[in-house]
Amino acid sequence: MTPSHDRSRVFINEVAPRDGLQIESRFVPTEEKIQLIDALSQTGLAKIEATSFTSPKAIPNLRDAEAVMQGIGRVPGVGYVALVPNEKGAERALACGVDEINLVLSASDSHGLANLRMTADASLVRFAGIVERVRGSGVFINASISTAFGCPFEGEVPFKRVLAITEKLLALGVEGISLCDTTGMANPRQVADLCREVRSRWPWLPVTLHVHNTRGMGLANALIAWQNGITRFDAALGGLGGCPYAPGATGNVCTEDLVHMFAQMEVETGVDLERLVAVAERLPALVGHDVPGQVVKAGLATRRYPLPSSLSEAT
Ligand code: COA
Ligand code: ZN
Average pLDDT over residues 92-98: 98
pLDDT at 24 over 80: yes
Supply the CATH number for residue 77's domain. Answer: 3.20.20.70
**CA of residue 188 to ligand 1 center, whole Å:** 34
232, part of any domain: yes
**Number of domains comprising the chain:** 1
Average pLDDT over residues 101-126: 98
Judge whether 15 lies within some domain.
Answer: yes
Picking from 203, 118, 127, the residue whose alpha carbon sits closest to that of residue 171 is: 127
* Structural domain includes residue 3: no
Element (H, E) at 100: strand 100-106
| Mean pLDDT calculated for residue range 267-295 | 98
* Share of residues in the chain with pLDDT > 90 (%): 96
Any domain includes 281: yes
Q: Comparing C-alpha atoms, which of 165, 144, 58 is closest to residue 102?
A: 144
Domain hosting residue 289, numbered range: 11-314
Q: Where are the beta strands (DSSP E) in 151-203?
A: 176-181
Average pLDDT, whole number, for the chain?
A: 96
- Tell me which ligand sits closest to the C-alpha of residue 104: 1
pLDDT at 4 over 60: no
Q: Which ligand lies nearest to the CA atom of residue 66 in the structure? A: 1
Higher pLDDT, 5 or 206: 206
The CB of 88 under 6 Å from ligand 1? The reply is yes
pLDDT band of 141, cuts 50, 70, 90: very high
Ligand 1 pocket test, candidate residues 19, 54, 87, most atoms within 8 A of CB:
54
CA 315 to CA 310: how far, in whole Å? 9
Helix (H, G, I), strand (E, B) or coil at 82: strand
Query: How confident is the model over 43-71, as a mean pLDDT?
Result: 98
Residue type, 260: H
Q: What is the pTM of this model?
A: 0.97
Residues in the chain: 315
Mean pLDDT for 221-229 is 98
pLDDT of the residue at 211: 98
Q: What is the mean pLDDT of residues 194-216?
A: 98
